[in-house]
A and B are shown apart, each in its own frame.
Chain A
Amino acid sequence: MKRVVMRRAIWESRHLRSYGRCFSQSADACAAANDVNTIPKMPPFEYTPPPYTGPTAEEILKKRKEFLSPSMFYFYKKPVNIVHGKMQYLFDEHGRRYLDALGGIATVCCGHCHPDVVKAIVNQTNNLQHSTILYLNHSIADFAEALASKLPGDLKVVFFTNSGTEANELAMMMARLYTGCHDIISLRNAYHGNAAGTMGATAQSNWKFNVVQSGIHHAVNPDPYRGQFGSDGEKYAKDVQDLIQYGTCGHVAAFISEAIQGVGGIVELASGYLPAVYTSIRKVGGLCIADEVQSGFARTGSHFWGFEAHGVVPDIVTMAKGIGNGIPLGAVVTTPKIAEVLTRRSYFNTFGGNPVCTAAGLAVLRVIEREKLQDNAHFVGSYLKERLNALKDKHEIIGDVRGRGLMLGVELVTDRQLKTPVKVEILQVMEQMKEMGVLIGKGGFYGNVFRITPPLCFTREDADFLVDVMDYAIAKL
Chain B
Amino acid sequence: MVKMMREILPRAFSAKPCRFTCYATASQSTLAQPCHENEPILPKMPPFDYTPPPYTGPSADEILAKRQQFLSPAVCHFFKNPLNLVDGKMQYLFDEKGRRYLDAFGGIATVSCGHCHPEVVDAIVNQTKRLQHSTILYLNPVIADFAEALASKFPGDLKVVFFTNSGTEANELALMMARLYTGCHDVVSVRNGYHGNASGTMGATAQSSYKFNVVQTGVHHAQNPDQYRGVFGSDGLKYAKDVDDIITYGTSGRVAAFIAEAIQGVGGILELAPGYLPAVYSTIRKAGGLCIADEVQSGFARTGSHFWGFEAHGVVPDIVTMAKGIGNGIPLGAVITTPDIAKVLTHRTYFNTYGGNPVCTAAGLAVLNIIEKEKLQQNAFTVGSYLKQRLTSLKDKYEIIGDVRGRGLMLGVELVMDRELKTPAKAEILHIMEQMKDMGILIGKGGFFGNVFRITPPLCFTKEDADFLVDAMDFALSKM
Contact = CB atoms under 8 A, between A and B. Distances in A.
A126 B116 contact: yes
A211 interface: yes
B132 A195 contact: no
Interface residues of A, number: 117
A342 B82 contact: no
Interface string A354-376: 10110000000000000000000
A347 B169 CA distance: 15
A144 B116 contact: no
A108 B132 contact: yes
B348 A84 contact: no
Interface in A159-191: 159, 162-166, 169-170, 172-173, 176-177, 182
Nearest to A165: B169
B69 A67 contact: no
B71 A159 contact: yes
B165 interface: yes
A317 B232 CA distance: 49
Given A194-B350, A197-B199, A177 B212 contact: yes
A182 B352 CA distance: 26
Interface residues of B, number: 117
Question: Which of B139, B172, B213, B332 counts the most chain A CB atoms within 10 A?
Answer: B139
A36 interface: no
Contacts of B210: 345-348
A140 B86 CA distance: 12
Given A67-B160, A197-B198, A141 B66 contact: yes
Nearest to B137: A75
A148 B70 contact: yes
A346 B200 CA distance: 17
B140 A60 contact: yes
A426 to B, nearest CB: 15
A18 interface: no
Contact of A69 (B73, B75, B124, B161): B161
A19 interface: no
Interface in A39-89: 49-50, 54-55, 57, 59-61, 63-64, 66-75, 79-85
Interface stretch (A131-139, A240-248, A463-471): A131-139
Interface stretch (A117-125, A270-278, A281-289, A386-394): A117-125
B42 interface: no
A343 B136 CA distance: 37
Contact of B176 (A130, A211, A328): A211
B29 to A, nearest CB: 28
Nearest to A159: B72
B132 A85 contact: yes
Most chain B CB atoms below 10 A, which of A131, A205, A347: A131
B6 to A, nearest CB: 38
Contacts of B360: 328
A235 interface: no
Contacts of A37: none
A314 interface: no
A75 B214 CA distance: 39
A69 B213 CA distance: 34
B15 interface: no
Given A70-B343, A125-B124, A135-B442, 10 more contacts: A104-B353, A130-B115, A136-B77, A136-B82, A162-B169, A170-B197, A209-B180, A342-B73, A346-B209, A350-B107
23 contacts: A55-B145, A60-B139, A68-B162, A69-B162, A81-B140, A82-B131, A82-B140, A90-B134, A107-B353, A121-B124, A126-B125, A128-B85, A128-B88, A129-B121, A131-B93, A140-B67, A145-B69, A148-B70, A157-B70, A157-B71, A194-B351, A206-B348, A326-B354
- What are the 5 tightest A-B residue pairs by CB atom distance, in nearest-first order? A326-B133, A130-B329, A196-B200, A197-B199, A71-B345
